[in-house]
Structure 1
């Protein structure tokens, strides 16, 4: 999955455990953050927080227009 394609876009991320998270996506490169895998930070539209979701937790992503 090419997570960088979703950076800067409003998305709904569907996780493998059946949850969905809607918000503004920012790509996190694993090299920059010294992690084992890439991730997306999702800034929630209804709360002043962001959630980090790792690539292996994501089932699919829907881009909102």
Structure 2
């Protein structure tokens, strides 16, 4: 399972992050305790977890690329 902490940037949306990192939106929201998927803010830290061990984007982020 791949995982890392992501700091939200200005203009990010939860649905865009879910798509980018191939994580279901509801899983991303629930794993971060978000009741409203439309309320994230720049500077907020989110835990991104993927059950897909081949998720190359998360692996690259974990490795600092």
Q: Which has the higher strand share?
A: 1
Q: Which of 1 and 2 has higher RCO (CA within 8 Å, sep 6+)? A: 2
How high is the TM-score relative to the length of structure 1?
0.28
How high is the TM-score relative to the length of structure 2?
0.28
Q: Which has the higher helix share?
A: 2
